[in-house]
């Protein structure tokens, strides 16, 4: 069940109707929990058991941490949570990757290892990180243990953010479950508005750009430099609109249901440094990695060299989190190196007080780094990625090959550029249509009509579902 499918709208309408009819907080929460499990089971009911295991283990660990002050016992409980959660994630997501990598390494010895036919449970990376954050925060004493199992189960499985984030912290979400959430007209309007914006990003931009980028990446080696650049930029636009569109829909859904989720994007392509990019892109993941990996490793408190090592380790693991492939690892490492350079040259701090030309230079450099990194993120193999990068930068043969500038790219890319440019000006609140203006309903209905007209005929899942 995708947010952009009609069946989801029926499902959401039914959930909203029930919440409007039922006033009790307990009943509402139990219904939302059942709805969330139904939502997950709609994809594959067997993997509800994984969700339940994660929930049970972390709830039990939380209770155990509350019951004991013995550091060794507490550490053992934390290890238990880490082993179960990361074990499940490792098996379902990385087992075949490690086996295949080992196969390559052991091939000269003539050893052969068999891979397993494993289906990746949708959203496992997201809810694993979410439950881990709860356990770690409780272990650190920064969060009160949740004593209500049903509340905790709803925190793990809350359907708007279950399959592709944002990665919600227990400290942000659990307090919202303590009292009956208001279902006001204003919340419904704000939620619906954000949901429609997300739908527009997904259907009108991401799905259109995907056609260009898919064709480009399926035929790497055939195009001239311009076409390859346009194809890669289309992918940059696609992945932003796809993921931030999903996030907008998730936040909008949750808001209409009475709950607030943290923002996940803040116009990342206006960033003037790679450091700033990561403060604007997938914010819930980057802050998770910062709080639960980078800082525990020592952050920047243990000297310059150790800071760089910590950054590289964090970004490499961040890359691997996205997918079980060497290209993802390289993508993470590439960003890691860029962040190290940023830190070394203090780009972020210097640009904060710099003039417009320096900021534009910083923006161009950041876009170059991010765009080239997307090539490794999207390509099926290093060979493909290398072919693409060569086509982009081979000045001698830049004009050789098939030339194709798609109309979709010519229309959708400027829309992304304009929306990003507006966000950097004093008109940044322009897209926030006020509820009390006469034109707001007409514009929102117009957008809905456009979405209905352009809805894809084929099944087009969100890119981040695979992670």
Partner 1 sequence: MRVVLRWGIGFVLATLAIWCVGAFFVSDERQLRWNEEIGSLVYCEGDYDYCKEGWGTVFFRDDGLLGARKPLASYERYVVFYGDSFVESLQVGDSGSVYTQFTELAQKSGRPWRGLAVAASGWNLEDHVALLPIYAKRIPRCVAHVIVISGADMVRPESSARTDPVGARHSLTALSRRFNAQSIAKRWQLQSFFVIVRSACAAFRDLRLRPGPVLASANKKRKKVCGDVCPEYYESLLDALQDHSRGRRIVVVYHSLIPQLNHGRIDETDPFAPAFRQFRALCRKRKIECLDATPALCEYTRRSGRFPHGFANSFPGQGHWNRQGHRLIAQVVLDYLMASQQSTD
Residue numbers annotated as active site: 322
Residue (393 or 439) nearer to partner 1, CB: 439
Chosen residue from 82, 190, 417, 443 binding partner 1 by CB under 8 A: 443
Q: Which stretch binds partner 1 (CB under 8 A): 50-58, 215-223, 297-305, 312-320?
A: 215-223
Asked if 103 interacts with partner 1 (CB under 8 A), we say: no
Among 96, 101, 103, 219, binds partner 1 (CB under 8 A): 219
At residue 402, the 3 state secondary structure works out as strand
Instruction: Annotate 329-394 with DSSP letters as a single string.
Output: HHHHHHHHHHHHHHHHHTHHHHHHT--HHHHHHHHHHHHHHHHHHHHHHH-SSHHHHHHHHHHHH-
- Closer Cβ to partner 1, 194 or 366, answer by number: 194
Scanning 9-17, 295-303, 335-343, 398-406 for contacts with partner 1 by CB under 8 A, the matching segment is: 398-406
Interface mask (CB under 8 A) for partner 1, residues 369-388, using x and -? ------------------x-
> By CB under 8 A, what part of segment 446-465 binds partner 1?
446, 448-450, 453-454
Q: How far apart are CA 58 and CA 53, in angstroms?
A: 8
Taking each helix axis from N to C end, the angle separating 382-393 and 356-378, rounded to the nearest 10 degrees, works out to 140
Q: Given candidates 32, 51, 220, 463, which one binds partner 1 under the rule CB under 8 A?
A: 220
* Per-residue tokens: 105: 């390494």
Please say which residue, 42 or 449, places its beta carbon nearer to partner 1: 449
- The sign of the torsion formed by the CA atoms of 209, 199, 172, 83 equals negative
Contact mark string toward partner 1, 402..421, x via CB under 8 A: xxxxxxx-xx----------
User: CA 310 to CA 409: how far, in whole Å?
Assistant: 38
Q: Three-state SS for 223?
A: strand
Smallest separation (angstroms) from partner 1 to the CB of 407? 4
Contact of 177 with 29, CB cutoff 8 Å = yes
Closest to 371 in 3D by CA, of 271, 272, 229: 229
At closest approach, how far in Å is the CB of 342 from partner 1?
35
Report how far residue 59's alpha carbon sits from residue 369's, in angstroms, rounded to the nearest whole number. Answer: 41
**Ranges within 422-441 binding partner 1 (CB under 8 A):** 438-441
445: contact with partner 1 by CB under 8 A: yes
Smaller CB separation from partner 1, 287 or 327:
327
Residues whose CB is less than 8 angstroms from the CB of residue 452 and which lie 6 or more positions away in sequence, other chains included: none
* Binding residues vs partner 1 (CB under 8 A): 185, 215, 218-222, 387, 400-408, 410-411, 438-446, 448-450, 453-454
């Amino acid at each position: 069940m995708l947010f952009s499918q009609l069946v989801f709208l029926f499902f959401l309408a039914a959930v909203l109707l029930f919440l409007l009819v039922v006033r009790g907080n307990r009943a509402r929460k139990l219904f939302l929990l059942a709805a969330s499990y139904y939502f997950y089971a709609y994809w594959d009911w067997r993997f509800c058991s994984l969700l339940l295991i994660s929930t049970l283990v972390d709830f039990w660990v939380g209770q155990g941490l509350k019951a004991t002050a013995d550091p060794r016992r507490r550490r053992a409980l934390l290890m238990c949570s880490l082993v179960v959660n990361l074990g499940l994630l490792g098996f379902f997501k990385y087992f075949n990757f490690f086996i295949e990598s080992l196969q390559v390494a052991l091939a000269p010895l003539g050893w052969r290892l068999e891979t397993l036919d494993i289906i990746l449970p949708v959203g496992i990376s997201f809810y694993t990180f979410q439950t881990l954050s709860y356990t770690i925060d409780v272990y650190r004493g920064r969060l009160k243990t949740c004593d209500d199992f049903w509340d905790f189960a709803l925190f793990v499985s809350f359907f708007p953010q279950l399959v592709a984030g944002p990665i919600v912290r227990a400290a942000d979400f659990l307090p919202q479950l303590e009292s009956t959430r208001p279902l006001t007209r204003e919340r419904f309007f704000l939620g619906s508005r954000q949901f429609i914006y997300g739908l527009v990003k997904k259907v009108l931009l991401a799905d259109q750009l995907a056609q260009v980028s898919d064709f480009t990446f399926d035929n790497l080696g055939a195009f001239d430099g311009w076409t390859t650049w346009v194809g890669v930029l289309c992918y940059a636009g696609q992945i932003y609109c796809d993921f931030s569109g999903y996030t907008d829909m998730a936040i909008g859904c949750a808001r209409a249901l009475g709950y607030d989720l943290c923002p996940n994007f803040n116009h990342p392509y206006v960033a003037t440094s790679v450091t700033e990019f990561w403060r604007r892109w997938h914010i819930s993941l980057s802050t998770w990695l910062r709080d639960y990996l980078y800082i525990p490793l020592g952050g920047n408190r243990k000297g310059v060299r150790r800071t760089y090592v910590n950054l590289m380790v964090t970004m490499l693991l961040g890359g691997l989190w996205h997918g079980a492939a060497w290209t993802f690892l390289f993508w993470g490492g590439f960003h890691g190196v860029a962040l190290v350079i940023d830190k070394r040259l203090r780009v972020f701090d210097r640009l904060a007080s710099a003039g417009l030309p320096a900021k534009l230079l910083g923006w161009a450099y950041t876009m170059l780094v991010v765009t080239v990194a997307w090539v490794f993120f999207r390509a099926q193999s290093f060979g493909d990625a290398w072919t693409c990068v060569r086509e982009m930068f081979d000045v001698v043969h830049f004009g050789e090959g098939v030339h194709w500038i798609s109309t979709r790219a010519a229309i959708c890319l400027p829309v992304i550029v304009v929306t990003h440019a507006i966000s950097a000006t004093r008109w940044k609140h322009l897209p926030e249509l006020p509820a009390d203006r006469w034109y707001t309903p007409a514009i929102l209905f117009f957008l809905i009509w456009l979405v209905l007209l352009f809805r894809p005929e084929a099944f087009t899942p969100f890119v981040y579902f695979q992670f």
